[in-house]
Amino acid sequence: MADNPYPLNFYFQLSFEGEDAAFKEVSGLSMEMAVEEVACGGENRFKYRLPTISSSQNLVLKRAMVPKGSKLAGWVKATLGQGLSSNIKTQDVDVSLLNAKGQLLTKWKFHNAYPIKYSFTDLKSQESEIMIETIELAYTYFNITVQ
């Protein structure tokens, strides 16, 4: 059976400070360019749409709560727990898309990332569900490497 040429989007890994972490969901893999509309004197049929600045969404990571030992969770807790009383330590974070054999297909490197939100699912005694932690990171920019 031949390999599927279209990558499946559910097999990925996140690397942070040499530690690989498993997440059930990663979102925010997008960038866009803002546009400014400018009206030109004497030409009333249209407006010029000029590019201004590119921007990205925050990187949102969701996984089952890890009680202890995670470098990523430790960095998030240390950063958000200190507020602005000390300098924020930025980190590069990698998200890799892998094929069924574990070979790298695409890698996103998020530069100068830092945590801005840490949350958990609601606690409900009537339901037996895994507690999900959500980590949201802001970053300067990201690169895409395609193999």
> Residue 65 is part of a domain; what is its CATH number?
2.30.110.20
Does some domain include residue 128?
A: yes
pLDDT tens track, the chain, 147 positions: 455 566 555 678 888 888 888 788 899 999 999 999 998 877 778 888 999 998 889 999 998 887 677 888 889 988 998 877 888 999 999 998 887 777 888 899 999 999 999 999 888 888 888 888 899 999 999 999 876
SS3 assignment, position 65: coil
Does some domain include residue 50?
A: no
Range of the domain at 63: 12-30+57-146
Reported pTM: 0.80
> Can you give the pLDDT at residue 9?
56
How many folded domains does the chain comprise? 1
Closest CA to 76 of 21, 147, 13, 5: 21
Contact 135, 24 (CB under 8 A): no
> Can you give the pLDDT at residue 66?
76
Does some domain include residue 103?
A: yes
Does some domain include residue 5?
A: no
